[in-house]
Amino acid sequence: MYLKRLDLHGFKSFASRTRFEFGQGITAIVGPNGSGKSNIADALRWVLGEQSGRLLRAKRLDDILYAGSGKKAPADKIDVTMTLDNSDGWLAVDVPEVTISRRGSRSSDGEYQISGKRIRLRELQTLLATANVGQNSYAIIGQGLVESVLNLRADERRQLIEEAADIQRYRLKIEEAGERLKSTHENTARIRLLIKEIAPRLAQLERQAKRAGEHAQLSRELMQALRVFYEERWHSAQEQLTVARAGHDQMQAEFTQARVALETCQRELDDITSRLDEQRQAASHRCSSHT
């Protein structure tokens, strides 16, 4: 792992944005007491996800924010970003440089980012543990740390030995598996509760399902019967319509013949009436001549 840069803004004594460039080999940061050398180590701890206020020498987030001075106001936000060289792909991120950032403010708990993408602390720990750069693979030895190690309680010493034995990644996997198992148990309990609620109604639901199936079957049979019935009625109506049309045509022909005969009789009647009128006029004329 090669640490290329460390950017600080608002972290403890670093009021303005400050960048540290680290070259290959060993880098030493020197200065008098109180100049902020330990704050750089604390910033590395903080950006890598450290949660212990004792190791960060702070009781709460406000304690690692720049507290202000006579010339500068207190900082409201904090931002620490470390840049790692990933040209050989030792981290499972497809970029040549990987930036790990942690940000916070007085009004929020903060967030983690990898190359600008927001992530959870667990994802950051998993990524670093997978690349063997978890908290168990490095040591930041500060003032009084050796004495603190010697004075650890048995359980704290055991935790230190476990971290040195590189089991942190497996502990994370166990915790994730435990969370999934807990979620599975909760889902199982929820399913059992649902089954318990549904069981008394199961017989009723089965009867309703049976009735629904019978209704569907009867509906299909009724539809088929209606189709056959209406098809027969349609064919019968078609036959009756054909017969009616034939009778209509025949009656129409007879009506036409009767009309022709009526017209013939009417003409003959007109001729007879005309001749009768002529004979009457001739008879009337002869009678007047004899007189």
Q: How far apart are CA 66 and CA 54, in angstroms?
A: 18
Tens digits of residue pLDDT in 92-147: 788 889 999 999 887 777 899 998 899 998 888 888 777 666 555 556 666 666 67
Share of the chain above pLDDT 70, in %: 89
For the chain, which domains are there? 3-133 (3.40.50.300), 167-239 (no CATH)
Q: Is the pLDDT of residue 290 over 70?
A: no
What are 157-216's pLDDT values in tens digits?
A: 777 777 666 676 677 788 889 999 999 999 999 998 888 888 778 878 888 889 999 999
| Structure-token pair, residue 165 | 């034995």
DSSP 17-62: -EEEE--SS-------TTSSHHHHHHHHHHHTT---TTTTT-SSGG
Strand runs labelled E in the chain: 3-9, 18-21, 77-85, 97-105, 108-114, 117-119
Quote the CA–CA distance of 262 and 252 in Å, as a whole number.
15
Distances (CA, A) of 191 to 150, 182, 205: 52, 14, 18
Is residue 5 within 8 A of residue 20, CB to CB? The reply is yes
User: Residue 288 pLDDT > 80, yes or no?
Assistant: no
pTM of the entire predicted model: 0.50
- pLDDT tens for 33-59 read 878 888 888 888 888 888 877 777 777
Supply the pLDDT for residue 145: 64
